Structure 1
Amino acid sequence: MKQHLIVLDLDGTLLTDEKVISAKTKRILQKAMAAGHQVMIATGRPYRASGIYYEELELTTPIVNFNGAFVHHPSDARWGVHHSPISLNVVHEVVESLHDFDFYNVVAEVKDDVYVHQHDEKLLNIFKFGDPEVTVGDLRNYLKADPTSMLIHAPVEKVPLIHDHLNAVHAEAIDHRRWGAPWHVIEIVRSGMNKAVGLDRVAKSLDIPRERIIAFGDEDNDLEMIEYAGVGVAMDNAIDSLKSIANEITSSNNADGIAELLADRLKL
Structure 2
Amino acid sequence: MSKDKYLIALDLDGTLLTDDKRITPKTRDYLNSLGAAGHTIVIATGRPLRAAYSYQQELGIKAPLVTYNGALTSDPSNPHFPKRTRTFDRNVLRQMVEKIGYEHLGNLMIETEHYVYLLRHDEALNTFFWNDRGTIVYGDPFLKLKEDPLTLIFLFHQFDPESKRKITAIVESFPGLHIRFWNLEGYAELWQGASTKKEGIEYVADYYNIPQSNVIAFGDAENDKEMLAWAKYGVWMNNGVPSVKEYAKMKTVKDNNNDGIIGVLKKLIK
The farther-off stretch of 94-103 and 24-33 is 94-103
Structure 1 distance, partners of 2:141, 2:110, is 8
Once the two structures are TM-superposed, the CA of residue 19 in structure 1 deviates from its matched residue by 0.3
CA RMSD, aligned part only? 1.6
Percent of aligned positions with the same letter in both sequences?
A: 35
Conserved in 1, the CA contact under 8 Å of 2:73 and 2:200? yes
Counterpart of 1:161 in structure 2 is 166
- Given candidates 203, 206, 209, the residue that maps to 2:208 is 206
- The 3 A distance-change label for structure 1 pair 244 and 130 is closer
Aligned: 1:112 with 2:114: yes
Once the two structures are TM-superposed, the CA of residue 163 in structure 1 deviates from its matched residue by 2.3
Question: How many residues in Structure 1 have an aligned counterpart in Structure 2?
Answer: 264
Once the two structures are TM-superposed, the CA of residue 162 in structure 1 deviates from its matched residue by 1.6
SS in 2 for 1:128: helix
CA deviations over 1:216-240 (Å, ceiling 9, x no partner): 0000110110011110000001122
- The 3 A distance-change label for structure 1 pair 233 and 130 is closer
State the TM-score, normalized to the length of structure 1: 0.93
- The 3 A distance-change label for structure 1 pair 130 and 152 is closer
- Given candidates 22, 27, 45, the residue that maps to 2:47 is 45
Aligned: 1:228 with 2:236: no
Gaps of 5+ in 1: none
- The residue type equivalent to 1:240 in the other structure is P
Counterpart of 2:83 in structure 1 is 81
Counterpart of 1:175 in structure 2 is 178
State the TM-score, normalized to the length of structure 2: 0.92
Counterpart of 2:95 in structure 1 is 93
- The residue type equivalent to 1:219 in the other structure is A
The farther-off stretch of 45-54 and 150-159 is 150-159
Structure 2 distance, partners of 1:217, 1:209, is 20
Gaps of 5+ in 2: none
Aligned: 1:254 with 2:257: yes
Counterpart of 1:219 in structure 2 is 221
Once the two structures are TM-superposed, the CA of residue 101 in structure 1 deviates from its matched residue by 5.4
Conserved in 2, the CA contact under 8 Å of 1:95 and 1:140? no
Once the two structures are TM-superposed, the CA of residue 100 in structure 1 deviates from its matched residue by 6.4
Once the two structures are TM-superposed, the CA of residue 103 in structure 1 deviates from its matched residue by 2.0
Counterpart of 2:20 in structure 1 is 18
CA deviations over 1:40-78 (Å, ceiling 9, x no partner): 111111112222101111221111001111011111121
- Given candidates 59, 62, 84, the residue that maps to 1:60 is 62
